[in-house]
Amino acid sequence: MDTKAFKRSLQQSDNYHRKGFGHEEAVAGQLKNEYQSSLIQQIRENNYTLSRGEVTIRLAEAFGFCWGVERAVAMAYETRQHFPTERIWITNEIIHNPGVNQRLKEMEVGFIEVKDGRKDFTIVETGDVVILPAFGASVQEMQLLNDRGCTIVDTTCPWVSKVWNTVEKHKKGSHTSIIHGKYNHEETVATSSFAGKYLVVLNLDEAAYVANYILNQGNRNEFMAKFSHACSQGFDPDKDLEKIGIANQTTMLKGETEKIGKLFERTMLKKYGPLTLNEHFLSFNTICDATQERQDAMFGLVDQKLDLMVVIGGYNSSNTTHLQEIAIERGIPSYHIDSAERIGPGNRIVHKPLHADLNLTEPWLPDGFITVGVTSGASTPDKAVEDAIERIFELKVAASVRG
Ligand code: SF4
């Protein structure tokens, strides 16, 4: 499929919307009530610190809702206002936050079900309205919805669209896109659907494996087994790594994306020399500012003296997991929760350790005076952060009364 031509024609269609519907003011009040927090505002104004009783909270200087997420949620609310009687669907979670997704369900926005590992669009009918989430949708899904005569409300973050434009450029020059991301994350699935040939690498180790293959070849079968789910159909590592371009899932660790880009640049320079490097290697900066800011703020926070960290965000949220990784690398006990309800009753917390299932820890808050670092992923409203902080305060008060 000529994905570029399809996108262009879709954007000209009357059934396609990628801006709001002029109800910004009406939904602004609703969003403020549901998701913003006066306590968090107060902490921000107080140099990101708040002490109450035995607890000092230190907030990261950038956390929570990014503008791409805010924009997507506002557009979804506007869609409901604009189409009050139509059936509305969303192709996936609007963002990775259980509370926000629940609110959309209450507003009768239906989520497309996944059956046997595939999304089941049979329920969607001509004339239905379908929202595409902040991290986008694959070009095949867009085509299906367009062919079915749906109205499409595309909330894809412009930063994600920028990556799609990048892989289109790779394709034009017959470069294979090497995408730093998780091959089964919705954003990377969407990005790879716009690419020609592609290979998804999860981290620097996988990138080093590929770089070594480019320079020294290696075991082709082993390569194909390793990347069987993470490459385009018919991918041949002996032919398809001669010209490469770098792209990324916008929420990966920024430092790692940069290192991977540099590694491949050095690799292609070594293999092809400086004169033809530009024919063999393409790189554009597609790291999202919001991801970068939140990660930088986390590095600033973990430099302070903290007894523990609480990281709030959806369990399937890639950027939240990366914030958790930063705390763990510094040896700080860190608890990843998806909502305040995971805290208590009593001195207990149900949290998700890195790459493991949910775990109950009791007691989790140490006795005496403590300093707790708090941050949240780009899909987490301030209200959820406020609720978690209030629970920590309550829990320490209750513990000191008992003690
Ligand atoms: S994290 Fe970045 S790319 Fe993702 S929605 Fe937010 S602004 Fe957009």
What's the start-to-end Cα distance of the chain, in Å?
A: 68
CB 64 within 8 A of CB 385: yes
pLDDT of residue 284: 85
- For the stretch 358-394, pLDDT in tens is 999 999 999 999 999 999 999 999 999 999 999 999 9
CA of 70 to the centre of ligand 1 (A): 9
pLDDT of residue 189: 96
CA of 143 to the centre of ligand 1 (A): 24
The residue contributing the CA closest to ligand 1 atom 6 is 68
The residue contributing the CA closest to ligand 1 atom 5 is 68
Strand order in the sheet with 370-376: 49-52, 55-59, 370-376, 308-312, 334-337
Domain boundaries, the chain: 35-65+290-402, 67-156, 159-287
CA of 107 to the centre of ligand 1 (A): 24
Q: Could you give the residue numbers annotated as active site? A: 187
CA of 68 to the centre of ligand 1 (A): 5
Evaluate if residue 402 carries a pLDDT over 70: no
- For the stretch 132-149, pLDDT in tens is 999 999 999 999 999 999
Please tell me the least confidently modeled range out of 7-16, 152-161, 282-291. Answer: 282-291
Complete DSSP assignment for 341-383: GGB-SSS-EEE--TTS--EEESS-SPSSSEEEEEEE-TT--HH
Mean pLDDT for the stretch of residues 303-319: 94
Q: In this structure, which amino acid lies at residue 6?
A: F
Cα–Cα dist 342/339, whole Å? 6
Mean pLDDT for the stretch of residues 88-115: 92
State the CATH class of domain 67-156.
alpha beta
CB 110 within 8 A of CB 90: yes
- Taking 3-state DSSP, the helix, strand and coil percentages for the chain, each rounded to the nearest 5, stand at 45, 15, 40
Q: Which of 18, 75, 154, 159 to mutate to test the pocket of ligand 1 (most atoms within 8 A of CB)?
A: 159
Evaluate if residue 236 carries a pLDDT over 70: yes
CA atoms within 13 A on the CB side of 52: 13
pLDDT of residue 260: 96
Q: Which of 67, 162, 316, 321 to mutate to test the pocket of ligand 1 (most atoms within 8 A of CB)?
A: 67
CA of 289 to the centre of ligand 1 (A): 8
CA of 7 to the centre of ligand 1 (A): 21
Atom of ligand 1 nearest to the CA of 67: 7
Look at residue 65 and give its three-state secondary structure: coil
- For the stretch 244-302, pLDDT in tens is 999 999 988 888 999 999 999 999 999 999 999 999 999 988 888 888 899 999 999 99
Atom of ligand 1 nearest to the CA of 157: 8
Q: CA distances (Å), 345 to each of 246, 360, 376, in order?
A: 47, 12, 22
* pLDDT band with cut points at 50, 70 and 90 for residue 403: low
Ligand 1 interacting residues, C-beta cut-off 6 A:
66-69, 134, 157, 159-160, 250-251, 288, 290-291, 319, 378
Establish whether domains 35-65+290-402 and 67-156 are of one fold: no
Q: Which of 65, 288, 298, 323 to mutate to test the pocket of ligand 1 (most atoms within 8 A of CB)?
A: 288
Q: Which of 63, 160, 321 to mutate to test the pocket of ligand 1 (most atoms within 8 A of CB)?
A: 160
CA of 150 to the centre of ligand 1 (A): 26
Atom of ligand 1 nearest to the CA of 159: 3
Instruction: Please provide the CATH number assigned to the domain covering 35-65+290-402.
Output: 3.40.1010.20
The CATH topology of domain 159-287 is Cobalt-precorrin-4 Transmethylase; domain 1 (3.40.1010)
Mean pLDDT for the stretch of residues 45-60: 97
When the pLDDT of each residue in the chain is averaged and rounded to a whole number, the result is: 94
CB 319 within 8 A of CB 313: yes
CB 309 within 8 A of CB 333: yes
- For the stretch 78-99, pLDDT in tens is 999 999 999 999 999 888 888 8
Atom of ligand 1 nearest to the CA of 160: 3
What share of the chain has pLDDT > 70, as a percent? 99
The residue contributing the CA closest to ligand 1 atom 7 is 68
